[in-house]
């Protein structure tokens, strides 16, 4: 399956997700296809999920969720449709191995495992400096607008 290299910047990403600053947790969309989406974020000191110079576990989780949202938002914009709103139904198997520091970039990859009746089951991984920082599974419900 071919990945579509997108290289969307923060302004473009903000049109793909329902969140608004300061809650935006991705600043670029890198690749997307039917199953896999990849995003990135430069961690800044003014990030609402940063504490004591580190991005929190909650920030990593929200980053995974917004990467999944950007996948759907990108597809909607390409199809000239409104961007749907998504809700996290469940987070399972969350493992945080290390917290990234302010000033570092994280790269996030989500893979859609299953879609049924408005729900998507995705697995997400966050990397920094080539190391796995966190991973989880999410069940996400999409509400059509």
Q: What is the DSSP string of 33-81?
A: -SSEEEEEEE--TT-TTEETTEE-HHHHHHHHHHHHHHHHHHHHHHTT-
Residue 114: beta bridge partners?
A: 121
Q: What sign for the dihedral angle of Cα 68, 71, 74, 77?
A: negative
pLDDT tens figures, 16-42: 898 888 899 999 999 988 899 999 999
Give the residues of the chain that fall short of pLDDT 50: 1
Q: Which residues contact 20 (CB under 8 A, 6 or more apart)?
A: 14
Model-level pTM?
0.91
Looking at residue 11, its pLDDT comes to 86
Mean pLDDT computed over every residue of the chain: 91
- Helix, strand, coil % in the chain, rounded to nearest 5: 20, 50, 35
Annotate 19-32 with DSSP letters as a single string.
Answer: --TTS---SEEEEE
Report whether 27 contacts 2 (CB < 8 A). no
């Amino acid at each position: 399956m071919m990945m579509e290299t997108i290289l969307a910047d923060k302004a473009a990403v903000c049109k793909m997700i329902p969140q608004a600053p300061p809650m935006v947790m991705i600043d670029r969309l890198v690749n997307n296809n039917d199953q896999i989406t990849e995003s990135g974020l430069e961690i800044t000191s003014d990030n609402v999920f940063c504490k004591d110079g580190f991005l929190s576990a909650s920030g990593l989780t929200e980053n995974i969720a917004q990467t999944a949202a950007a996948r759907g938002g990108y597809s909607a914009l390409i199809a000239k449709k409104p961007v749907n709103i998504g809700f996290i139904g469940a987070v399972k198997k969350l493992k945080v191995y290390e917290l990234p520091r302010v000033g570092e970039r994280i790269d996030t990859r989500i893979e859609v495992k299953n879609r049924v009746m408005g729900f998507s089951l995705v697995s997400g991984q966050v990397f920094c400096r080539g190391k796995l920082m966190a991973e989880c599974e999410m069940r996400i419900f999409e509400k059509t607008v």
